[in-house]
Amino acid sequence: MTAPLTILGIESSCDDTAAAIVRQGDDRNQGRAQILSSIVQGQTALHAPFGGVVPEIAARAHVEKLDHCMEQALAQAGLKLTNLDGIAVTAGPGLIGGVLSGVMYAKGLCAATGLPLIGVNHLAGHALTPRLTDETPFPYLMLLVSGGHCQFLLVHSAEHFQRIGGTIDDAPGEAFDKTARLLGLPQPGGPSVEQAARNGDPMRFPLPRPLLDRPGCDMSFSGLKTALLRARDSVIAEKGGLNAQDQSDLAAGFQSAVTAVLAEKSRRALALYLGLNPARRSFAVAGGVAANGPIRGALQSLCAETNTQFIAPPLALCTDNAAMIAYVGIDRLRRGAIDDLTLSARPRWPLDAATPSQLGSGKKGAKA
- Which spans of this chain sit near Zn ion (rule: CB under 5 A)? 320
Say which residues have a Cβ less than 8 Å from residue 101's Cβ, sequence separation at least 6: 12, 59, 62, 63, 66
Closer by beta carbon to Zn ion, 320 or else 339:
320
Residue 14 exposed, middle or buried by CB count within 10 Å (0-12, 13-18, 19+): buried
* Peptide bond preceding 139 in cis form (omega within 30 of 0): yes
How far apart CA 7 and CA 13 sit, in angstroms, is 19
Does position 349 interact with ligand KG4 (CB under 6 A)? The reply is no
Using left for φ > 0, alpha for ψ between -120 and 50, and beta otherwise, residue 307 falls in left
Does position 246 interact with ligand KG4 (CB under 6 A)? The reply is no
Measured from the Cβ of residue 278, the count of other Cβ atoms closer than 10 Å reads 8
Residue nearest to ligand KG4 according to CB distances in the complex: 190
For residue 80, the minimal CB distance to ligand KG4 (Å) is 30
Identified binder of ligand KG4 from the candidate list 119, 125, 130, 189, rule CB under 6 A: 189
Does position 173 interact with ligand KG4 (CB under 6 A)? The reply is yes
Count of residues engaged in binding ligand KG4, rule: CB under 6 A: 21
Site for ligand KG4 in 126-155 (CB under 6 A): 146-148
Binding letters toward ligand KG4, positions 205-244, x by CB under 6 A: ----------------------------------------
Q: What secondary structure, in 3-state letters, does 308-320 show? A: CEEECCCHHHHCC
Closer by beta carbon to ligand KG4, 65 or else 364:
364
Does position 188 interact with ligand KG4 (CB under 6 A)? The reply is yes
Q: Is residue 173 a contact partner of residue 146, using CB atoms and an 8 Å limit?
A: yes
Does position 169 interact with ligand KG4 (CB under 6 A)? The reply is no
3-state helix, strand, coil in the chain (%, to 5): 45, 20, 35
Binding letters toward ligand KG4, positions 14-53, x by CB under 6 A: x---------------------------------------
Say which residues have a Cβ less than 8 Å from residue 170's Cβ, sequence separation at least 6: 178, 220, 221, 222, 225, 362
How far apart CA 368 and CA 362 sit, in angstroms, is 11
How far apart CA 326 and CA 176 sit, in angstroms, is 30
Does position 102 interact with ligand KG4 (CB under 6 A)? The reply is no
For residue 147, the minimal CB distance to ligand KG4 (Å) is 3
Q: Is 224 helix (H, G, I), strand (E, B) or coil?
A: helix
Binding letters toward ligand KG4, positions 257-296, x by CB under 6 A: ------------------------------xxx-xx----
For residue 301, the minimal CB distance to Zn ion (Å) is 26
Nearest C-alpha neighbor of 95 from the set 58, 61, 127: 58
Region from 76-84, 183-191, 262-270, 306-314 binding ligand KG4, contact rule CB under 6 A: 183-191
Q: Which residues bind ligand KG4 (CB under 6 A)?
A: 14, 146-148, 173-174, 176-177, 188-191, 194, 287-289, 291-292, 319-320, 364
